Structure 1
């Protein structure tokens, strides 16, 4: 029985839908069916896939379905493409990355199966097993026709000593073979432990071997890497295998080497075009699969019961993780984050996204002021400092926080541009680059405050104060920053502008904003907020509350933020937010002190006039009409009002 859908604002959320257009082991699909809706629609044509993909949140494929850029563009809700296997050459990964769609695979679920199939093909080729079996079934008994060779004492060369290559090496050693390998990234100690001799180049490797097997991914550098030149470097009578990806061995060159008698045989499980049986008659591929000295199998490297179960469970677990907001184990187009660190970062991901959205809505998009004008920055800021203090500075990767900031900065704009726009850890750097956003991430291990472990500060710099784009190197406590330097272009404004500052922290898993420019505060950035900049004098809270009450706008919480760096007083009604005496106090840090010279007025200490000003942050239960905002400003003493939805 499926779990009931989650509730949000009193309404049931739609159950995420998963499309599986290919046969997949039921073990993994059973995991998904506990909480998701799974549609198995086998044999879809590209046109049929395009016509239905828009309603799905996840797509599960093996090797046959082509996930093209056009398919991905049509997938308005798609969050993840899961490839049940290793290779992802049937998925347009760059297009998925641009759209913020995570691509995952299962790099280890079928390695044993692929290695065993390699050895099976090697032995079948050496002893003519397929042809001799077919001969007997045809009623023949021709023992002398199928004399083979022993593999004991022969040299096996492996190109690509990864997980599959290592297992093949160990099995071959067990058969009494000498194993050599070429892999620029292979560890000498790992190779030595497997009794494999590393050879520095293909030119040295190829002439030594009796059997050659390929175990590399399909890349631009590996496509056609075994062409006429390389195959001719093999000794006469050598045999080659490919259980990796079709196209790594040039099929035309392989056919020529077999027809000339230079190669004694080949065993191929993967082809440039699958199925090869549909190749044009008379083509090199059609001739190759019919050659008497080749053993062919229909892409069976991962076709074992165990491998199918493993990859199915693996990718289905990752689909669940992504749809639940977590990071997968094997994302092809997203960074790997340690699980423990990701758990620690999660509350701050929400905080930083809220900080970015708060900046865009409150500072960048502006607010209504006493003169009736819409005030805000002269232009959208494109240069930001993101400062991590305390324990947060010790994280090995802060990419989720960077992605959260880009999402927060752009979502108030992009949400109105396209309902399908999705900024996340997959495409955040690309989005930042396209929009000219420069983020300088800095880390400080200085303790922020005894009661709290970490603080995040966002500084939006005026265009004239943008730091050098040659990867900033400022740091604190001699610990270098983590910097994402992306090209930003901006013109000098007509008048000088000050930087804007937002600070925040997390108490348990709840995010708090502790500072807006020079105003100390403590509130939870959630829901609809009214931010009133007013003179700090008696009666203001009552007047604002009276106007909102007359409009049937309920105040969920209120936080009064004085122009100070010490503390904030706040009051609270029934639901949520920081409360006077209950909410955590605003924080003061060395980094804040260092940048305090750019508070309103450009002074670290407020002047007597500024000291009489405050921010009133109100959490309300609905958006407030423009006429009501105008009335709030018209009461006197309220300098400006902005409405923010977080």
Structure 2
């Protein structure tokens, strides 16, 4: 168990992480959330716990926060989300998100996460508790005994063994309830068009195709579905009239799946024998409403939304959503985003290194090809992400798409790309005029580069108008091929390829040059003619400015055999011939890629560009 969060009381009655810093992102928690999860956040963020906020107060203070963690009471409306200009994530410490305007969050590029698994056991156990309580009149028995009465003869119940339990929604909670009910000796019949027949059969559950096949045969009925347009008022008067008069219904899912007026009538008219209710359309029920009358009905065992109210469940959901908030604010992936494709843990582990690779590829593109100029070589260009090998078989690539957008804009945005996530990546790309296509190539031979060395290969290809500002300076040693190119050519293509080895990421191709380097730290990339003296000159310039070389690599044209040679830093001042088949001929181009430590100023770049045969120099910080 994580250590409890340390908080301090503010003068206005709220509490905040003890190490408050105005420079750290802030997270608002307007409801009680287990301290074990909040402790995960307080090392990096300011966590403000402010209970009892009105709707207007929430709108007034939300502009200062990057994260919002709620349970079921706080209404996260479109107005709240519009006011939260800094908001990047809204987390629901639980399953249902009825209290969050998910569409408005998506429109504002805000990720909504929940904890679909944290309270499975608690919800299932509470369902069985209500089942037994309504079968044996536990609620009425307790109330009458506390009132000094002894009414044994009026409280005769029924056994649940050998009875039929009907389940609508055979998801994680529904399946858990089914297994518990079978353990009590019950027969279980279920309705779920998305359930696996094999899994149901293995669990001992009989699936039926329609509601009409389920209702007449069950002795107990429980529903475990989200509240959607298709499930709102799922059981009304016609459905309840089809049930046995001895049947009892349960609801530990969402208020509204039963029509409350119809359920009240069914109990009063004797269409069914009883109900166990944990959730209502309005919580707490409004006085005089159908929900309030149901809660007070003698045939109903009612509880105040306790389905997830166990110590263990509260710790689980808190740890779950706080871990996701932590990952999102650090630029990572959520595991249960409501408004984005669900990322399973195994997918997360597979995708995470490629997320880092593609983000670095995007940042490398902007800094190397566009020189980091805002808008230069980015807006108006067409990008293509090509996945080859094992990666081509992954259908959920939205995290990879978002990683590319984040990388492309990171060096030219005030937020450094930290505002890009899997929800708003498409919006940001559209705003910046970036068109991105994704291509899955399972037949590697058809895709150009054949994946032989790597399990997966990622290619980033860009096409668009030539940027005159990015054209390398002319050189006396210009290639004949370059001189013969038609002047009216206005479009060009640039390519970056990369791969993952273990947890390490590598660039294997940069434009026309074969390479093999780790995209990290400060890099100097020199486009030059491969001839003796270049390495010594570069080493001398950097040494003269106090810049140390940590590694160096020369990348040759991609069509040259043995195109890449790695050079130790100690050899960087050696004037010896490091040639890639060019024999010193100035028409042979190469890239010199250096990892450097120290400040690379404009004077350093200017001195490097002075040498004859150095066509261009780019500074890349990754």
Query: TM-score band, normalised by the shorter chain?
Result: 0.7 to 0.9
Q: Would the aligned equivalents of 1:106 and 1:315 in 2 still touch at CA under 8 Å?
A: yes
What's 1:85 paired with?
Answer: 94
What's 1:467 paired with?
Answer: none
Q: Would the aligned equivalents of 1:349 and 1:401 in 2 still touch at CA under 8 Å?
A: yes
What's 1:268 paired with?
Answer: 277
Whole-angstrom distance in 1 between the partners of 2:573 and 2:260: 75
Shift of 1:298: 0.6
SS at match of 2:188: strand
What's 2:72 paired with?
Answer: 63
1:74-127 CA distance string (max 9 Å, x none)? 556655544332222233444445566554433333223222322332333344
Q: Would the aligned equivalents of 2:327 and 2:333 in 1 still touch at CA under 8 Å?
A: yes
Q: Would the aligned equivalents of 1:567 and 1:586 in 2 still touch at CA under 8 Å?
A: no
Shift of 1:299: 0.3
Cα gap change, 1:92 to 1:622, in 2 (>3 Å): farther
Are 1:500 and 2:494 counterparts? yes
1:379-435 CA distance string (max 9 Å, x none)? 63224142435x65676865543332232234345x24x678622345545655775
Are 1:520 and 2:514 counterparts? yes
SS at match of 1:185: coil
Whole-angstrom distance in 1 between the partners of 2:418 and 2:104: 13
What's 2:388 paired with?
Answer: 388
Aligned residues: 572
1:562-614 CA distance string (max 9 Å, x none)? 4453424565658xxx9899xxx999xxxxxxxxxxxxxxxxx99x9983444
Task: Note the 1:152-301 alignment, pairs <5 A.
Answer: 154-175=163-184, 177-236=186-245, 238-276=247-285, 279=286, 281-301=287-307
Whole-angstrom distance in 1 between the partners of 2:380 and 2:579: 28
Q: Would the aligned equivalents of 2:333 and 2:399 in 1 still touch at CA under 8 Å?
A: no
Are 1:457 and 2:453 counterparts? no
RMSD of the alignment, in Å? 4.7
What's 2:143 paired with?
Answer: 134
Deviates more, 1:633-642 or 1:261-270: 633-642
Shift of 1:286: 4.0
Q: Would the aligned equivalents of 1:393 and 1:444 in 2 still touch at CA under 8 Å?
A: no
Shift of 1:350: 2.3
What's 2:563 paired with?
Answer: 567
What's 1:44 paired with?
Answer: 53
Q: Would the aligned equivalents of 1:79 and 1:100 in 2 still touch at CA under 8 Å?
A: yes
What's 1:600 paired with?
Answer: none
Deviates more, 1:391-400 or 1:220-229: 391-400
Cα gap change, 1:444 to 1:432, in 2 (>3 Å): farther
What's 1:355 paired with?
Answer: 361
Task: Note the 1:460-499 alignment, pairs <5 A.
Answer: 460-462=462-464, 495-499=489-493
What's 1:611 paired with?
Answer: 587
Whole-angstrom distance in 1 between the partners of 2:173 and 2:465: 52
1:478-512 CA distance string (max 9 Å, x none)? xxxxxxxxxxxxxxxx8452321122345665544
Are 1:409 and 2:408 counterparts? yes
What's 1:597 paired with?
Answer: none
Whole-angstrom distance in 1 between the partners of 2:115 and 2:506: 38
SS at match of 1:499: strand
Shift of 1:365: 6.3
Whole-angstrom distance in 2 between the partners of 1:432 and 1:586: 41
Cα gap change, 1:539 to 1:71, in 2 (>3 Å): farther
Q: Would the aligned equivalents of 1:536 and 1:613 in 2 still touch at CA under 8 Å?
A: yes
Q: Would the aligned equivalents of 1:238 and 1:265 in 2 still touch at CA under 8 Å?
A: yes
Whole-angstrom distance in 1 between the partners of 2:516 and 2:80: 46
SS at match of 1:611: coil
Whole-angstrom distance in 2 between the partners of 1:44 and 1:500: 53
Shift of 1:300: 1.0
1:343-374 CA distance string (max 9 Å, x none)? 4554443232121222234335688xxxxxx9
Q: Would the aligned equivalents of 1:2 and 1:36 in 2 still touch at CA under 8 Å?
A: no
Shift of 1:205: 1.6
SS at match of 1:234: coil
1:294-321 CA distance string (max 9 Å, x none)? 3321101122334334434444455555
Shift of 1:182: 1.3
Q: Would the aligned equivalents of 1:522 and 1:586 in 2 still touch at CA under 8 Å?
A: no
1:444-470 CA distance string (max 9 Å, x none)? 6687566x6654332223489xxxxxx
SS at match of 2:232: coil
Q: Would the aligned equivalents of 1:559 and 1:579 in 2 still touch at CA under 8 Å?
A: no
Gapped runs of 5+ residues in structure 2?
6-20, 467-487
Whole-angstrom distance in 2 between the partners of 1:628 and 1:580: 16
Shift of 1:150: 4.8
Cα gap change, 1:524 to 1:76, in 2 (>3 Å): farther
Decide which of 307, 317, 337 is 1:311's aligned counterpart: 317
Shift of 1:557: 5.8
Q: Would the aligned equivalents of 2:25 and 2:65 in 1 still touch at CA under 8 Å?
A: yes
Cα gap change, 1:152 to 1:16, in 2 (>3 Å): same
What's 2:122 paired with?
Answer: 113
- Report the TM-score, using the length of structure 2 for normalisation: 0.74
Q: Would the aligned equivalents of 2:190 and 2:208 in 1 still touch at CA under 8 Å?
A: yes
Whole-angstrom distance in 1 between the partners of 2:579 and 2:276: 69
Whole-angstrom distance in 2 between the partners of 1:635 and 1:173: 81
Q: Would the aligned equivalents of 1:19 and 1:38 in 2 still touch at CA under 8 Å?
A: yes
Whole-angstrom distance in 2 between the partners of 1:68 and 1:235: 41
Decide which of 421, 424, 427 is 1:424's aligned counterpart: 421
